[in-house]
Amino acid sequence: MTVIIDGKQVAASVLDAVKEAAAKLESETGKKTGLAVVIVGDDPASHSYVGAKSRMAKECGFNSIQHTLTPDTTQDELADLVLRLNDDPDIHGILVQLPLPSHLSPDPVIQSIRPEKDVDGLNVTNAGKVSIGDTKTGLVSCTPAGAMIFVRSAHGDDLSGLNALVIGRSNLFGKPMAQLLLNANATVTIAHSTTKDLPALCRTADILVVAVGQPEMVKAGWVKPGATVIDVGINRVETLERSGKSRLVGDVAFKECVEVADIITPVPGGVGPMTIAMLMANTVTAAIRANGYPHFAF
């Protein structure tokens, strides 16, 4: 019988560990874990995401500070704020909510965050550490880190002998996900928009991870019987039953693929809840390292 991963339940267990670690750090050192979230402009979706992150940080016992900047904020003003947060010893994690307004360039801002405070795991130093297998001193991008917890729960820490296919090559998810799988000894292939005969390639994968932003692209006939399928896509599509209403679906046609896979994540309720949980995990990890404590791992 196919196992449908309950992302909310797994995320809750991660958050329990985060709360315990944050409380222990504060009781033993007097230091409260600090997270600064920076948002520029008034995009409703971004404000919703930031609100959820700030609430979760407070629930975890963090000192959560939100900096809301006006839409006309300049590149220099944003850079100055990041530099001040870099120098603030009470702030252990810095998150700049993307996307930024079109007149701002995100990469210089992201790269200016000190690697040890880069809880999104997007700084080139952290990306480089992941590429050489160093997760003991680096911070891993949150969504692939969460997806990897699912993979490890299904297959253990050593993926030797397993073929893994990642569909998607973004810097945010596809590349770090592939590297994490490779670090765990899987044989890894990355597919993308110009890959030939993608369905045939999918059918070779013991672990199939999909992050392309195309609603229900992966069909049952693409999935190797018994595979583990991790669906990272979040797409809003109009419902056929009620005009003007929409629903969330993944990049995998769940209803048909659940009949073929051994393990699969749903959308919603799969990878999504893990992203914020791993952001909290990165933040408390950064706080513990900043105070000279051993690495905090899940």
| Closest among 295, 276, 242 to 60, alpha carbons compared | 276
Closest CA to 119 of 12, 231, 35, 179: 35
Phi, psi of 66, deg, nearest 5 = -110, 130
Helix axes 272-290, 7-29, angle to 10 degrees: 20
Q: Are the C-beta atoms of 231 and 271 separated by less than 8 Å?
A: yes
Q: Of 31, 117, 118, 120, which residue is the catalytic one?
A: 120
Contact predicate 233/252, CB 8 Å: yes
Q: Is residue 120 among the annotated active site residues? A: yes
Indicate if 97 belongs to the active site. Answer: yes
Among the options 53, 117, 129, 224, which is catalytic? 53
How many CB atoms sit inside 10 A of residue 16's CB?
A: 12
Q: H or E stretch including 14?
A: helix 7-29
Catalytic residue among 97, 118, 179, 206: 97
Q: 209: which strand partners?
A: 166, 230
Helical H runs in 156-290? 174-183, 198-202, 254-257, 272-290
Active site residues: 53, 97, 120
